[in-house]
Structure 1
Amino acid sequence: MSRSSARHGGLHLGLVPQLAAARNGGTPITLDHEMDLFPGSGRQSTVAELADRVDDVAARLWAGGVRPSEHVVIHKTSNFDIYVLATATARIGAVPVMLSPALDGDSVITLIERLERPHLVTDAAKLTGPLSAARPGDLTDRLFVTAGDLPGAASLAELAGSPRRRPVLMHPDHPALMTHTSGTTGLPKLVVHSARTLHGRYRPQQRLAALVRGPETVALHVSFVHSRMYLALAVLLPRAMPLVVMDESGPEAVAELFAATRPGFVETHPNSFMEWEPLADDPRRPFSSVRYFSSTFDAIHPGTMDRLLRASERRSPVFFQIYGQSECGPLVGRGYTRKGAHKADGRCLGFAMPGMTRFRLVPRDGARPSRETPGYIEVSTPGRALTYFGERARFEQQVHGKWWRGGDVGYRTKWGCLHLLDREVDVITGIRSTLAVEDVVLGRLAELAELVLVSGPRQEPVPVVCTRDDRPLDTARWHEAVADLEPMADPVQLTSAELPRTATMKIRRIELAQRLRERLERAS
């Protein structure tokens, strides 16, 4: 894939399945669900079948009137056919715009309006649910549904059998994919990637894959609309490693799937790994075969890494922690083993990737960045996106020459390791690092499934906690665990389902803080 990418000036997503099939077409792909777009296709397929389906759907979209450089919004129920739709769109030179199934209807409509009459691929569940009041057909050029027949929409099912077409390769600096930011600070921004910037993200991920010794079954639970999904498959599909692609994250389903497929490499979001922690003691031993764990979105709690590593029965398992952003891809990282995970500093994200990424710390208040006076984290990488669609000025505010300021604050240790303390917008007066406090308390109280420290109605630090199985919090144990930490308000207990989350399972901290303030004000 790397030779092909270089020859074409970038990573062209529409070619990925075809080129992988030419090398390893028989490699198996297992899904934990059936694809809506291909009813009756089952859960087992091969890389060659995936490539054929992408070619098929590309032909259907072309027959439906989609043309090169046009925007195609893909917003439907979570399913692996989202990947097929996106790569099929890219195969005919159009620009897939990925909107999470978890986005609320108002946000989806606002982003569609920003795109000025794009095409929209969706399904009946969205059109009759979150989008029903907005008449999305009035805001789009062509409206496609993945199944069934709805008034005003073209059915992709009825376009099956359309003549196949040769792929269309756009200029490597032309927009090639749009994904959105997590939306933790409000309406998500549309991040514009090109084939060239995607290749800049591909290189460090290819290097990580090269560390995997021998063929391993890879289990992947990543949002189907996130750029990480497309880069992960660009790396994995040509490598003849059997794939297990997951939509379901519930621990019981995960235990059954892993017991059946025995993956050697597992990648998912940090919060999903936290949700799966109790499976370390499951008699089905779902993690016994795992040699490599990978978390590529945010820092992960050391206790989570330690517990999962000890659940593996492989020799010398490794937990890769990679820090990245939607705008830049992977930036820094490091690996942990059983010997060091339990005593790791959860704020340590790792080191820059030699020859590919760099970072620097910029003073926030005139003081030299340090643990006590953290600075802005700025990064330099060939994987940086082109812009925010429709918000260029907002994007340029974060650009400082070749450096990108992503909104996180931290410091560099004398060993060159990057430590992240907080998002700038999440800093709370009197707390050195909300994330560090969360790491410490989660390490002391195994009964906690989640802890989020947010600002209360009087700007006081308020811990929001979720317990495993939603059992009542033992307040005596809580106060003992936090006695030596910075002063905080009494904890507020919620169920895990009450936490607002992004597509990658991050907590929407600003939204949670607002809900909490409203709740506390009503109670006072």
Structure 2
Amino acid sequence: MLTRTKPLDLGPLFETLAERGSPTVVRLSRPLELAPEAGTEWTIPQLAELVRETSAQLAAAGVAPGHRVAVHKRNHWDYALLAAAAVRIGAVPALISGHLGPVSLRSLLRRLEPALLVSDRYTLAFGSSGHGIRTLCLDGPALGAIDADSLRGGAVPPVHRRRHDEPLVIIHTSGTTGLPKLVVHSTSSLIRKLTAAETRALPILSVRREDTVASAVSFSHGRAVSWTISALWRMPRTALLLADSDPEQAGRLLRAHRPTVLEALPASYVRWQRMAAEPDSPFTDMRVFISTFDAMHPPTVRTFLTASRRRHPLWLQGWGQTETGPLTFRLLTRRAMAERDGRHPTTRDLGRPIPGRVGLRVVHPETFRPVRRGEPGVILARTPGRCLGYEGEQERWAAKASGRWFNTGDIGVRSRTGRLRLLDREVDMIPGLSCVELEDVLHERLPDVEEVVVLGTGREAGGHRPPLPVLVTRDGTLDPRHWQRAVHDLPPLAEPLLIGWDALPRTGTGKVRRHELRDRYLTGVAASGTGRWT
């Protein structure tokens, strides 16, 4: 029997859900590369059979228990299905974002030494081939790759059982500061300690049977695996999976099946902000919005909460890292996002540590002694869901892990009541200022701005150069008078640099690659942060 009281095994997950009689219908924004001819609507039993057949194809391609299987393809939910199929036969899937280019991919593959690389024709055509690794192409013939169709029809292997403390899946970090780290999670850390808690019935926040849940994230990230387990375990009526954040394409699915619970990348929320403000907004039935990966700007949160016609919609903001899972959470309401007495609300207040599970310390970056409440320092975290380490970079892991504590590399302040306020990544810090706070204020004061990135600068021979604001506006212009009014009471800033949305370099999780912007626009200008814990 595969039935469990908790979802503790990723491999047979969909078989277990089918046994439980899950009525969930999964609807996709476009067909899966894993099954390009099968359309965009799936039942749970159909998905269980797809995972079984895929595990047979991987076995036919030579994958055995303990092997690494790298997945590098276009963003879609089949990352999670491929992970389940690999885990089902005892392999360890390594999920690599299709946003990573050939050079970064080759570096990660050298660390992984996978038995098989799984990809698609689109990704292979743009330079993910030529690395000498046996490659399986999911959606048709490709030069130098095995056509997945040629491996159909083989015997389905039995479910392979592994210890809970053994490697289960490898996920890379966002890579905002350079080449991503490969994070190794086990069944214990990713599922038993992190994901299983989300499957419990929690007032207001838990997925309900009548819900239409939607996910629009980077499906190569570990959050996609956790979401797949926790959301489907609750057996909602409908699950929407959006592979692209393009407002027109996403809008079609969202309007056809209006969601009640939505988790999306911060960059996707920003792109959909105008859609949320329209009279026919698809977010009118929303009761819970969820954002992870990065903090949101208050005007964006306010727009979506206003779009809901429910009396008390909520925004759940989580903060954590790939290595640790969620560390804090905060519930945002319309009232919390309203301006009062000229003061701007903030989403940089991350709330408190998850009770009973997470411990936080704020320490001096040189001595690592705890600082007093109200003083900034580097944030250390203690959590039972911490990963096993970094694949091929144990020295780097040792520099960030000290006993049960993990160095997040973020700078923050604890209040007297224990709330955590995020200031910056240490590598991006400006002494005495907060880039992210400046970005929030500029967003509030410049409604036509879609994205703000403030790049800090270090000391030069002639003194400090003022931080550089990089702005994305709706029409590519900015009235100088509006800019002057917005910054009149702020610390000195350089004249803003205007660029287009597509010119802003991002990771697969939608985070801005600040180091690339620095290399592009601040060549030779040193940063203030050390970057020791990136």
- Which residue does 2:141 correspond to in 1? 149
- Which residue does 1:336 correspond to in 2? 332
- Which residue does 1:230 correspond to in 2? 225
The 2-side partners of 1:362 and 1:200 are apart by: 26
1:112 aligns with 2:112: no
The 1-side partners of 2:111 and 2:199 are apart by: 34
Query: Could you tell me whether the CA contact under 8 Å between 1:456 and 1:516 is conserved in 2?
Result: no
What are the ranges of 5 or more consecutive residues in structure 2 without an aligned counterpart? 340-344, 526-534
- Which residue does 2:247 correspond to in 1? 251
The 2-side partners of 1:390 and 1:365 are apart by: 27
Query: Could you tell me whether the CA contact under 8 Å between 2:374 and 2:414 is conserved in 1?
Result: no
The 1-side partners of 2:271 and 2:374 are apart by: 32
* Correspondent of 2:22 among 9, 21, 25: 25
Query: Could you tell me whether the CA contact under 8 Å between 2:199 and 2:234 is conserved in 1?
Result: no
- Which residue does 2:199 correspond to in 1? 206
1:84 aligns with 2:85: no
The 1-side partners of 2:224 and 2:319 are apart by: 15
Query: Could you tell me whether the CA contact under 8 Å between 1:305 and 1:342 is conserved in 2?
Result: no
1:207-235 Cα distance to aligned partner (Å, 9 max, x none): 58663374310010011100000001110
The 2-side partners of 1:364 and 1:224 are apart by: 34
The 2-side partners of 1:159 and 1:62 are apart by: 9
1:173 aligns with 2:170: no
1:76-98 Cα distance to aligned partner (Å, 9 max, x none): 12233222212101111100001
Q: Which amino acid counterpart does residue 383 of structure 2 have in structure 1?
A: T
Matches within 5 A, 1:72-471: 72-132=69-129, 135-136=130-131, 138=132, 140=133, 142-198=134-190, 199-206=192-199, 211-212=205-206, 214=208, 215-241=210-236, 242-343=238-339, 344-364=345-365, 369=371, 373-429=375-431, 431-455=432-456, 459-468=465-474, 470-471=475-476
Give 3-state SS (helix, strand or coil) of 2:338's partner: helix
Describe the shift of the 1:33–1:213 C-alpha distance in structure 2 as closer, same or farther (beyond 3 A).
closer
Normalising to structure 1: TM-score of the pair? 0.93
Q: Which amino acid counterpart does residue 224 of structure 2 have in structure 1?
A: M
Q: Counting helix residues as a fraction of each chain, which structure ranks higher?
A: 1
Describe the shift of the 1:249–1:151 C-alpha distance in structure 2 as closer, same or farther (beyond 3 A).
closer
Q: Kindly state the Cα deviation for residue 508 of structure 1 after the two structures are TM-superposed.
A: 0.6
Q: Which amino acid counterpart does residue 423 of structure 2 have in structure 1?
A: L
- Which residue does 1:4 correspond to in 2? 4
1:281-309 Cα distance to aligned partner (Å, 9 max, x none): 21222110111100022221122111110
Q: How many aligned positions are there? A: 511
Q: Kindly state the Cα deviation for residue 460 of structure 1 after the two structures are TM-superposed.
A: 3.2
Query: Could you tell me whether the CA contact under 8 Å between 2:70 and 2:114 is conserved in 1?
Result: no
The 2-side partners of 1:28 and 1:171 are apart by: 32
Give 3-state SS (helix, strand or coil) of 2:412's partner: strand
1:428-460 Cα distance to aligned partner (Å, 9 max, x none): 24x511000101110111100000001359553
The 2-side partners of 1:40 and 1:147 are apart by: 9
Normalising to structure 2: TM-score of the pair? 0.91
The 1-side partners of 2:67 and 2:164 are apart by: 16
The 1-side partners of 2:198 and 2:421 are apart by: 21
The 2-side partners of 1:369 and 1:12 are apart by: 41
1:135-181 Cα distance to aligned partner (Å, 9 max, x none): 22x2x2x3211122345432211111211121101111111100101
- Which residue does 1:490 correspond to in 2? 495
1:53 aligns with 2:59: no
The 1-side partners of 2:248 and 2:125 are apart by: 31
The 2-side partners of 1:307 and 1:489 are apart by: 29
1:82-140 Cα distance to aligned partner (Å, 9 max, x none): 222121011111000011010011000111111235311112223332234xx22x2x2
Q: After superposing the two structures, state which structure 1 stretch, 314-323 or 210-219, moved more.
A: 210-219
1:478 aligns with 2:479: no
Describe the shift of the 1:117–1:131 C-alpha distance in structure 2 as closer, same or farther (beyond 3 A).
same
The 2-side partners of 1:310 and 1:415 are apart by: 30
The 2-side partners of 1:5 and 1:387 are apart by: 29
Q: After superposing the two structures, state which structure 1 stretch, 77-86 or 98-107, moved more.
A: 77-86
Give 3-state SS (helix, strand or coil) of 1:73's partner: strand
- Which residue does 2:530 correspond to in 1? none
What are the ranges of 5 or more consecutive residues in structure 1 without an aligned counterpart? none
Give 3-state SS (helix, strand or coil) of 1:65's partner: coil
The 2-side partners of 1:403 and 1:237 are apart by: 32
The 1-side partners of 2:52 and 2:412 are apart by: 45
Q: Which amino acid counterpart does residue 187 of structure 2 have in structure 1?
A: A
Describe the shift of the 1:75–1:432 C-alpha distance in structure 2 as closer, same or farther (beyond 3 A).
same
Give 3-state SS (helix, strand or coil) of 1:99's partner: strand
Q: After superposing the two structures, state which structure 1 stretch, 104-113 or 360-369, moved more.
A: 360-369
Query: Could you tell me whether the CA contact under 8 Å between 2:75 and 2:244 is conserved in 1?
Result: no
Q: Which amino acid counterpart does residue 342 of structure 1 have in structure 2?
A: A
* Correspondent of 1:499 among 493, 498, 504: 504
Query: Could you tell me whether the CA contact under 8 Å between 2:124 and 2:142 is conserved in 1?
Result: no
The 1-side partners of 2:3 and 2:408 are apart by: 31
CA RMSD of aligned residues (A): 2.3
Query: Could you tell me whether the CA contact under 8 Å between 2:64 and 2:90 is conserved in 1?
Result: yes
Give 3-state SS (helix, strand or coil) of 1:102's partner: coil
Query: Could you tell me whether the CA contact under 8 Å between 2:260 and 2:288 is conserved in 1?
Result: yes
1:476-517 Cα distance to aligned partner (Å, 9 max, x none): 101111111111111001111111100110001111111112
Q: Which amino acid counterpart does residue 452 of structure 2 have in structure 1?
A: L
Q: After superposing the two structures, state which structure 1 stretch, 199-208 or 390-399, moved more.
A: 199-208
Identity of aligned residues (%): 38
The 2-side partners of 1:220 and 1:471 are apart by: 30
Describe the shift of the 1:369–1:435 C-alpha distance in structure 2 as closer, same or farther (beyond 3 A).
farther
Query: Could you tell me whether the CA contact under 8 Å between 2:324 and 2:383 is conserved in 1?
Result: yes
